[in-house]
């Protein structure tokens, strides 16, 4: 449940003028009012975030090395009702199934018992805030400083967000970034044997957004 904080302040300004002018008439009250609340944001991505690689032939599977598949891009857009900062973390819903381990490698599911189908990486690039090109930052969770980058591989250990410059987040109401998925098929060795029947690549990851003024 979102908590809402209301800020209300008043400033009294006393203007000292000629003695013959009434002090009461020269003491207007200035009021500064506003409301601070956690903004609501809507996240959208083409095709509900599904990157469909289509039908793949098992002839693509190498006996010893991973096979790079065609990259695919989709734009992610976050529309907020008030100006805010924005960042996100990621969770691999197929943790432990990546054929090559690494904090930026996400699993594609299992096959042949303990075999692994492959992995994919997600590159964040072409970021914008309010329609204007923006830098990004990607730092380990808990870090207090960061530098900017033009693109960054989404990392399970990192927080990724929009930035103006080093240590300065970019604020706005409309955020966008292109997500480029780079999939790889595992070798038949890592798959624990050949593919003898139809099998689905089943990669899944969740982006968790955090925002605040």
Mean pLDDT along residues 166-195? 97
pTM: 0.82
Task: Give tens-digit pLDDT for 29-88.
Answer: 776 766 666 678 999 999 999 999 999 999 999 999 999 999 999 999 999 999 999 999
Q: Where are the chain's structural domains?
A: 39-212
Residue 6 has pLDDT above 90, yes or no: no
CA distances from 59 to 70, 111, 187 (A): 15, 16, 11
CA 32 to chain centre: 35
pLDDT, residue 25, reads 57
pLDDT, residue 15, reads 35
194: pLDDT confidence band, cut at 50, 70 and 90? very high
Residue 39 near residue 80 (C-beta atoms within 8 A): yes
Q: Higher confidence at residue 45 or residue 13? A: 45
Residue 16 has pLDDT above 70, yes or no: no
Residue 138 has pLDDT above 60, yes or no: yes
CA distances from 14 to 20, 27, 116, 135, 196 (A): 15, 5, 75, 46, 86
pLDDT, residue 212, reads 75
Task: Give tens-digit pLDDT for 103-137.
Answer: 999 999 999 999 999 999 999 999 999 999 999 99
Residue 115 near residue 192 (C-beta atoms within 8 A): yes
Say whether domain 39-212 belongs to CATH 1.10.10.10: no
pLDDT, residue 184, reads 97
pLDDT, residue 126, reads 99
């Amino acid at each position: 449940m979102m908590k809402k904080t209301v800020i209300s302040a008043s400033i009294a300004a006393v203007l000292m003028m000629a003695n013959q002018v009434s002090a009461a008439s020269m003491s207007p009250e200035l009021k500064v009012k506003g409301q601070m609340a956690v903004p609501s944001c809507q996240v959208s991505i083409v095709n509900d975030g599904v990157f469909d690689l289509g039908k793949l032939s098992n002839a693509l599977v190498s006996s010893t090395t991973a096979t790079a598949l065609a990259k695919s891009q989709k734009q992610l857009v976050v529309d907020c009702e008030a100006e805010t900062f924005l960042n996100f973390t990621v969770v691999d819903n197929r943790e432990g199934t990546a054929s090559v381990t690494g904090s930026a490698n996400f699993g594609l599911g299992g096959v042949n018992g303990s075999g692994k189908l492959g992995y994919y990486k997600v590159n964040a690039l072409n970021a914008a805030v309010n329609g204007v090109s923006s830098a990004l930052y990607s730092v380990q969770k808990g870090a207090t400083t960061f530098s900017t980058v033009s693109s960054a591989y989404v990392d399970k250990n990192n927080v990724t967000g929009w930035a103006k410059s080093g240590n300065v987040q970019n604020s706005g109401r409309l955020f966008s970034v292109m997500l480029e998925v780079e999939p790889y098929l595992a070798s038949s060795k890592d798959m624990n044997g050949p593919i003898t029947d139809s099998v689905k690549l089943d990669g899944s990851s969740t982006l968790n957004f955090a925002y605040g003024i």
